[in-house]
Structure 1
Amino acid sequence: MGNIGIIQQLKQANLYSGKVILQFIGQAGMIIQGKQDTLVIDPYLSDYAEKNYGLERTYQPFYKPDDLKGVDYYMITHDHADHLDPGTVSICAEMSPETIFIAPSYCHQLLLDCNVKAKNIWDIKDETWQSIGELAFRAIPSAHEDLEKIPDGGYRFLGYIGTLNGVTFYHAGDTVVYSGLLDYLKEQPIDIAMLPINGRNAFRFERGAVGNMNYQEAAELSYQANFELTIPVHYDMFADNTERPGHFVDLMYENFSSQKFHMMAREEQMIYTNMQFMKSD
């Protein structure tokens, strides 16, 4: 492939309807390639957080921010630097002036500060379905660790349910399991769910590590929501805020053996096929 970035590599794929390529890029970061359009969610590829907040990585990123050149949609769940990474956003905005940045309205000024053009920012303030190109999506609130409303009526922390090329996904961002979350997730069948599993505790919270659902809650949520496939994320980037993903794997196998799950290896790429979509296409 030479020196072309990962986005250009993915765009060379010739996907039938009902298929997407998933590319795991560390922490909660994921690239999803549809038939034509490419979506990246919460990429954390620069050293900005380490230099400015002392957040030392346990492993280095697989790609550089400029590898995202040409991405169509850049989706952000909230303002924390391992999700809205200014070092990645600013380079992507410079190299890909047509990229659309989808983020909670709380993030608007942060994106402007990263030199994203105002016309390229989609401020998300409510839970209505929206669409652009191949991508249709709606935001749902996330509680990290609480539901936090902001003055314009939106939420500071979001997850997203979306469809791309006939595949429905849920990216939880950072969240605990709160009352009402399951109701959102049962409104439509979800093919792929990406859930944080690093949990939370009082000592980590005092050190500034705001918590998420733990692996037991993620497994139970997967079963209750009847996701087709669950992918655990957000468990090994920072040494003092981790979880062993094998615990999630063991629990799913032992307690919810009918539920499909897959722990993606670092830098893994996989193709997902929505068989129901294929049958009806």
Structure 2
Amino acid sequence: MNDKIVIGKTGKQLLKQMDTTEVPKDGVAIWQLGQESLVVKKQGKLIYFDPYLSASPSRSFEPPIKPEEIYNADYVVITHHHSDHLDPFTLKDLSIHSPQALFVCPAPHVQLMLDAGIGEERIIAAKAGVSCELTQGISFTPVACKHEKYITDADGNHFFLGYVFNLDGLIFYHAGDALADQELEDALKPHHIELACMPINGHDWRRLRKQIYGNMTFREAADMAAEIGAEMVIPMHYDMFKGNTENPAYFVDYLGRYYPSMKFKVLVPGERFLYLTEREQ
């Protein structure tokens, strides 16, 4: 593994930075942990998205933090059941060391969370289109997405979700794993998303026959961000596994050619990014 890829903070220093970072009322702080693992801070609350922090020889770099080091999670948001998003080993240790944390997951995956050792009273079952307030000023609306195809359980609940968060007026979108299509665009547009985090690793038949399910290409991610009116876009899901990566420079080049006014940020694992809104609150 190449731990030189991680050039941001790691371990206790990274966690201390999360604790001590002061976020202005008109902003949000974001830390990238690799793949689609992000930490978002708002109103003093830390929200972990898809924390995949298990040690594995298939990783391209060491996790910036270890699951057993995480004591500061207030909320943990899971987009779907694949192991690089719903990682039972990470979730088990994180739940023990962050006993205050609540866990959001798609309704069909509640049993997987229980199997990972999460108490039922700590789990929020997310359903597409059904909004939920976590605390005053922080709420979310799940959005169904297609990870090769839309999948629902017997009750019609979607397996794959993205999440639109209202962070005290700042609208933040974590796409999870998703392909671009008209249904997704139509679901996202009414939310007036300002900051969008999108997968860019793409999809093709070679990976699909190995059961590696696809995502937006870098072109599709940029096009979708533009279509939904996002002010800024952050690419995700391009850095973790050999054979399922993408060069984010292609994404940046495409934005420069076709959407030169679109703001973007490419983050490295362990890096902090402070975003300040330019919209009137």
What amino acid maps onto 1:111 in structure 2?
A: M
2:272 alignment partner in structure 1: 269
Q: Which runs of 4+ in 1 moved over 6 A?
A: none
1:71 alignment partner in structure 2: 73
Aligned length: 272
Superposition TM-score, scaled by structure 2 size: 0.92
In structure 1, the residue corresponding to 2:34 is in which secondary structure? Answer: coil
**Most deviating of 195-204 and 13-22:** 13-22
In structure 1, the residue corresponding to 2:182 is in which secondary structure? Answer: coil
- The unaligned stretches of length 5 or more in structure 1 are none
How far apart in 1 are the matches of 2:11 and 2:103?
25
- The unaligned stretches of length 5 or more in structure 2 are 1-8
C-alpha displacement of 1:163:
1.7
Q: Does the 8 Å CA contact 2:11/2:65 hold for their aligned counterparts?
A: no
The counterpart of 1:131, out of the listed 124, 130, 133, is 133
Residues 191-235 of structure 1, C-alpha deviation per residue, up to 9 Å, x if partnerless? 211100001111111112110110111111111111110000001
Q: Does the 8 Å CA contact 1:125/1:153 hold for their aligned counterparts?
A: no
Aligned-residue CA RMSD in angstroms? 1.8
How far apart in 2 are the matches of 1:201 and 1:112?
34
What amino acid maps onto 2:184 in structure 1?
A: L
Q: Does the 8 Å CA contact 1:6/1:67 hold for their aligned counterparts?
A: no
Asked if 1:12 is matched to 2:20, the reply is yes
What amino acid maps onto 1:64 in structure 2?
A: K
How far apart in 1 are the matches of 2:275 and 2:139?
18
Q: Write out aligned runs for 1:151-162 (5 A).
A: 151-162=154-165
Superposition TM-score, scaled by structure 1 size: 0.92
Residues 129-164 of structure 1, C-alpha deviation per residue, up to 9 Å, x if partnerless? 110114200000011010111112210000000022
What's the % identity of the aligned pairs?
33
Asked if 1:36 is matched to 2:44, the reply is yes
Q: Does the 8 Å CA contact 2:80/2:159 hold for their aligned counterparts?
A: yes
Q: Does the 8 Å CA contact 1:7/1:38 hold for their aligned counterparts?
A: no
How far apart in 2 are the matches of 1:260 and 1:95?
36
1:83 alignment partner in structure 2: 85
Q: Does the 8 Å CA contact 2:88/2:116 hold for their aligned counterparts?
A: yes
CA gap 1:168/1:2 in 2 versus in 1, 3 angstroms: closer
Q: Does the 8 Å CA contact 2:10/2:270 hold for their aligned counterparts?
A: no
In structure 2, the residue corresponding to 1:187 is in which secondary structure? Answer: helix
How far apart in 1 are the matches of 2:98 and 2:12?
14
How far apart in 1 are the matches of 2:195 and 2:39?
13
What amino acid maps onto 1:17 in structure 2?
A: K
How far apart in 1 are the matches of 2:252 and 2:141?
29
C-alpha displacement of 1:2:
11
1:202 alignment partner in structure 2: 205
How far apart in 2 are the matches of 1:104 and 1:82?
15
What amino acid maps onto 2:85 in structure 1?
A: H
Residues 51-108 of structure 1, C-alpha deviation per residue, up to 9 Å, x if partnerless? xxxx711111111112321211000000001001111100011112221000001211
C-alpha displacement of 1:7:
4.4
In structure 1, the residue corresponding to 2:187 is in which secondary structure? Answer: helix
Q: Write out aligned runs for 1:96-115 (5 A).
A: 96-115=98-117
The counterpart of 1:237, out of the listed 240, 245, 269, is 240
What amino acid maps onto 2:192 in structure 1?
A: P
Q: Does the 8 Å CA contact 1:130/1:136 hold for their aligned counterparts?
A: yes
Q: Does the 8 Å CA contact 1:37/1:72 hold for their aligned counterparts?
A: yes
